[in-house]
Amino acid sequence: MMKFRFRRQGAEPHRERLRHDLFAFSKTVEHGFPSQPSALAYDPRLRVMAIGTKAGAVKLYGAPGVELTGLHKETATVTQLHFLAGQGWLLSLLDDNSLHLWEIYQKEGCSHLEETRSFGLPARPGSGAVCSPSITRVTVILPMSSGTVACLGTEGGAVYFLALPALVLLEDKTLFQDEILQSVPDDYRCGKALGPVESIQEHPQDAGRLLIGYSRGLVALWDQSTRTVQHLFLGNQQLESLAWEHSGKNIVSSHSDGGYMVWAVGGSGQRTQQPITAVIPYGACDPSAFPHSNPFVIFSGGMPRASYGDRHCVSVLQGRILATLEFTSRVIDFFTVQDPEVPEGGFENPRALVVLVEEELVVIDLQTPGWPTIPAPYLAPLHSSAITCSYHISNVPLKLWERIVSAGEQQSPRLSSAVSAWPINGGKNLAQEPTQRGLLLTGHEDGTVRFWDASGVSLKPLYKLGTANIFQTDCEHNDSLNQAGEEEWPPFRKVGCFDPYSDDPRLGIQKITLCKYTSKMVVAGTAGQVLVMELNDDKSEHAVSVATVDLLQDREGFTWKGHDRLAPRNGPIAFAPGFQPSVLVQCVPPAAVTAITLHSEWNLVAFGTSHGFGLFDYHRRNPVLARCTLHPNDSLAMEGPLSRVKSLKKSLRQSFRRIRKSRVSGKKRLNAGSPSSKVQEANAQLAEQAGPPEVEMTPVQRRIEPRSADDSLSGVVRCLYFADTFLRDAAHHGPTMWAGTNSGSVFAYALEVPSQEKFSERAVEAVLGKEIQLMHRAPVVAIAVLDGRGNPLPEPYEVSRDLAKAPDMQGSHSMLISSEEQFKVFTLPKVSAKTKFKLTAHEGCRVRKVALVSLASTAAEERVENCLACLTNLGDIHIFTVPALRPQVHYSCIRKEDISGIASCVFTKHGQGFYLISPSEFERFSLSARNVTEPLCCLEVSRLQDTSSVTPKVQQANGTHVPHSSGISIPPHGSPGSPEERQATFSPGSVDSPNSSMENPLDTTGDITVEEVKDFLASSEEVERNMRNASEDEVRPAGIFIK
């Protein structure tokens, strides 16, 4: 033994190299919907959209798999985003009044997004200290169609011009309000200023003419070249927005009274007093009053405040058809996507309406009658109901995959066509086809389980399973209510799926497990319900058999004070194709299920709550075992979740204190570098800023006391495990079940499972084989049995289907027990300690999540090591060898204050993982140097001018730049042959890189086609509404949008 220790020391350099080949940490991609979006922009030429968030992140999305992320250095809300169409530049305005220019650049064949320069508007010259800083606050941005100038409207009423992309102020072109006021009649002026600039619109045909709208209602048509006012529209209503009709003959203005006006630009006279039409669509009017014509009118808001002020609406009006799309969260912005060619009649033909609301992105197909929604292939609102648990399955067999996909298609038929119909499809996805299918299941508060395709960069919804229909809940489906709505005016139509309100919290899903070979699934919930489900390709109507298992086992003196169990519905229930429940097991008392495990070969499911655990034979449909784990002194276990609210509050308060503490002591920030981690940090900073002012507290104290047997909730069952191993003697192995509790106890049962043919005849029996009490009494978070070679036992059916090597049943097995404080390996069947690692005693951190992962080496695919990956309460990930338990590497991954992030973490079998960075977003990370899933995409941009002189970043594309520290820039580690293959795919993309555009400088204007101009005009019209919704809580403005 002693020799062995010495040798290990000597072998270090070799091991070091191996480690390098095996382990690498990177945060790769964010799945889901960005938290707190605040701005939206669309580039009709690149066909990509950009979303800005309150944390200062900018995210670009194109075709599925095309995703770019950037983050402002300042943690400030992105209030506006504007594309310089087709050029790969993006202008952002933050709420600190700074402008930033982002560039999409190519490096190693892939596109990246980077901020190149920023600009702050100087105070008005001359008035210096007198004027308040708000005078130069930018209210409107209009990038001109030429792509070289941007107009900035300000709160003070002045309009500034900015050269692009250099972001240099063209001072001589600045238009102050005085110049406009000169031509305004005195009776209109009334000695007052015109107010802030509300809107600037470029003339659709003549780029030299600008329409400038002021807050008080005045709209001026300004000729840049002659610097004269060509026309004045003397509006009397508070202006909200302006839009040109495509022909340039009419303009539309929207007003704070909920109406919009159409004005003629016709040549007669220099002033217009009256609009052609003025419409208040949701005033006391009749829908037939709308003129019968083809154009679409799309606007947000406009609702009579008194009756519908609390609704979030976008109205779409085409001729006599009006749809009032009602969203469950605030409308941020919207745009339309149209076909490139403009048909006769001068109106574009919008294909789709894209609406960004606070919690989701909704796309409406405007070409299909009835205007259905198009399901998005990404930006999935993961949090449509709060996520309560998640579960990952890797290497899903094709058969199961197809069955799930087909179940999902029958559920929402448009899902399959979504990818082809998806209108925002710019860019090329360069990532290789995922080598295996990964399925992420999320359990939600409303009792649904959602199936996501987590194989690649974009997380696609596959199928949704509801469990609420099995139970009688208070709120039956309010379909009848919706039908009544048909008669209602305005015709509200609910769109989107964000619905955070749960009918019954007891329906919440706590644990999910799925056998990928037999398609059996077990779902367990908050009220102690355990549902055994089977995948059925046909719809069915059957009764679910119900069984109750008493986990108290006649224990005296306990009364459950928590919620009641869910009442199951009687009689046959209709189930759609997909997973259909066959058995419902209800625990008594109905406490939340804390652990489940399934063995589909033995037809057994084990489940645990805070009171004990049970074993159920779902083939014969009878309980096999129930065991109470309660300590006699544990009173809290009987209180149920409701009375624990107080302690939850307390722990929240404590965690807030910890956050403050860490800020005060100025502890290092985690893992700067990758843009996504920065996004997280920024989100966190934002959350902290948003928090209420903190009251000074007394110094925090911590009690030092060892855990005792009668600590509260010591009986909570934390993990359950099935294994075919040696429990009673070294000669015979057999089925066993293991359970670990919060107080460090492990119970091992030997199971008598009849052979396959005799399942129906003989019952399963369970006898207690061993009880282990860990002396340190820390909660047992995981149990696993390792075979004679030290590998984890395979899953049921894995060996019989030739998908895994048979375990070594010759050598002696060992058992790995992971508690919150230490890892220990014991021999079997005689339980004696072999190795251990005391994590808490050494590092001061506690185990939160642990998983056995197999990591393949980058050097050789067949070199695979089984490791123990562990996430601690400090948000660090540690990797240990198995079974020697030697620490290998550790990475900081999640901020330690991010408790929900740590709690939501799941590891995959092959060394990746997911955790929630906001209620709506999963961060994907990788521990493996080989198995990495990250976005690799290419956007072909065509710069209008050579930018190498002004853009130092262009050099990065030439490869002279030091590799970016972010995970995105690292090439993927696919199969060994992949680098060559990728080189081939990249070469066409590089033609359009800035590098090549340097060699063939484009003429600034010569290459612009009419089509491009039109496209650009469309985009600039959309652009002006960005600000509108910002202060919507008070005023519900009506943005008008005519196509």
- Give contact residues for another protein (rule: CB under 8 A): 1-2, 4-6, 9, 628, 631-632, 658, 661-662, 665, 667, 699-707, 709-710, 728, 767-776, 778, 821-822, 824, 826-827, 831-838, 840-846, 873-874, 884-887
Q: Given CA atoms 858, 861, 863, 867 in this order, what sign does their dihedral have?
A: positive
Coil, strand, or helix at residue 486?
Answer: helix
User: CA–CA separation, 947 vs 396, rounded Å?
Assistant: 48
Distance, CA of 92 to CA of 279 (rounded, Å) = 33
For the four alpha carbons of 516, 519, 525 and 530, in that order, the dihedral sign comes to negative
Find all residues with CB under 8 Å of 115, minimum gap 6, and list them.
70, 72, 73, 100, 101, 102, 103
Q: How far is the CB of 762 from another protein (least distance, A)?
A: 20
CB 812 within 8 A of CB 788: yes
Q: How far is the CB of 789 from another protein (least distance, A)?
A: 19
Helix residue ranges, H only, 846-920: 899-903
Query: Strand 228-234 to strand 239-244: parallel, antiparallel, or no bridges (unpaired)?
Result: unpaired
Q: Which is nearer to another protein, 4 or 802 (CB)?
A: 4
Query: CA-to-CA distance for 412 and 405, rounded, in angstroms?
Result: 11
Nearest distance from C-beta of residue 845 to another protein, angstroms: 6
Nearer to another protein, 17 or 842 (CB): 842
C-alpha distances in angstroms, 457 versus 16, 63, 430, 1018?
A: 31, 11, 11, 30
Q: Which residue number, 471 or 738, has a Cβ lying nearer to another protein?
A: 738
CB of 886 to another protein, least distance (A): 5
Task: Name the residue nearer to another protein (CB basis): 465 or 893.
Answer: 893
Angle, helix 12-22 to helix 2-10, in steps of 10 degrees: 60
Query: CA 360 from chain center: how many Å?
Result: 10
* Residue 542 beta carbon to another protein: minimum distance, rounded to whole angstroms: 38
C-alpha count within 13 angstroms, C-beta hemisphere, residue 416:
10
> Which residues are CB-contacts of 915 (< 8 A; sequence separation ≥ 6)?
893, 894, 901, 902, 904, 905, 906, 922, 923, 925
Q: Measured from the CB atom, is 654 or 1004 closer to another protein?
A: 654
Work out how close the CB of 844 gets to another protein at its nearest, in angstroms, rounded to a whole number.
3
Q: Judged by CB, which is closer to another protein: 594, or 822?
A: 822
**Which CB, 14 or 703, lies closer to another protein?**
703
Q: How many CA atoms lie within 13 A of 123 on its CB side?
A: 9
Query: Three-state DSSP class for 1011?
Result: helix
Whichever of 704 and 1010 has its CB closer to another protein, that residue is 704
Give me the torsion for CA of 110, 113, 116, 118, rounded to 10°.
Answer: 170
Would you tell me how many other CB atoms lie within 10 Å of the CB of residue 699? Answer: 5
Integer Cα distance of 151 and 161 in angstroms: 5
Q: How far is the CB of 782 from another protein (least distance, A)?
A: 16
Whichever of 484 and 768 has its CB closer to another protein, that residue is: 768
- Least separation in angstroms between CB 211 and another protein: 59
Please say which residue, 542 or 660, places its beta carbon nearer to another protein.
Answer: 660
Q: Other CB atoms closer than 10 Å to residue 211's CB: what's the count?
A: 26
Instruction: Name the minimum Å distance from CB 139 to another protein.
Output: 45
Q: 454 or 748: whose CB is closer to another protein?
A: 748
**Residue 586, CA distances (Å) to 206, 557, 601 in order:** 72, 21, 23
Q: How far is the CB of 102 from another protein (least distance, A)?
A: 37
Of 271 and 834, the one with the shorter C-beta distance to another protein is 834
Map residue 325 onto helix, strand or coil: strand
- In angstroms, give the least distance from the CB of 832 to another protein: 5
Beta-sheet strand order (sheet of 360-365): 331-338, 350-357, 360-365, 373-374
Q: What span, in angstroms and rounded, lies between the C-alpha atoms of 1010 and 499? A: 44
Q: Report which residue type is found at 321.
A: I
CB of 815 to another protein, least distance (A): 11
Given a contact cutoff of 8 angstroms between Cβ atoms, the answer to whether 152 and 121 are in contact is yes
Nearest to another protein of 498, 721 (CB atom):
721
Q: State the nearest-atom distance from the C-beta of 842 to another protein, in Å.
A: 6
Question: Between residues 781 and 939, which has the closer beta carbon with respect to another protein?
Answer: 781
The CA distances from residue 102 to 69, 680, 935, 956, in Å, are 11, 20, 19, 15
Nearer to another protein, 750 or 753 (CB): 750
Q: How far is the CB of 766 from another protein (least distance, A)?
A: 11
Report how far Cα 282 is from the mean position of its chain's Cα atoms: 35
Q: How far is the CB of 614 from another protein (least distance, A)?
A: 15
Pick from 435, 823, 407: nearest CA to 575? 407
> Between vectors from CA 851 to CA 648 and to CA 385, what angle results, nearest 5°?
45
Tokens of 458: 């974009």
- Of 254 and 610, which has the nearer Cβ to another protein? 610
Residue closer to another protein, measured from CB, 865 or 1022:
865
Degrees to nearest 5, angle at CA 944 with 941 and 948: 85
Q: Least distance (Å) from another protein to the CB of residue 902?
A: 13
Picking from 539, 521, 517, the residue whose alpha carbon sits closest to that of residue 530 is: 521
Which residues are paired to 357 by β-bridges? Answer: 331, 360
Closest CB to another protein among 73 and 667? 667
Between the CA atoms of 121, 122, 123 and 126, what dihedral angle is there, to the nearest 10 degrees?
Answer: -140
Q: How far is the CB of 837 from another protein (least distance, A)?
A: 5
| Closest distance of CB 850 from another protein, Å | 16
Under a CB-based contact definition with an 8 Å cutoff, are residues 334 and 353 in contact? yes
- How far is Cα 68 from Cα 380, in angstroms, rounded to an integer? 16
List the beta bridge partners of residue 921: 32, 918
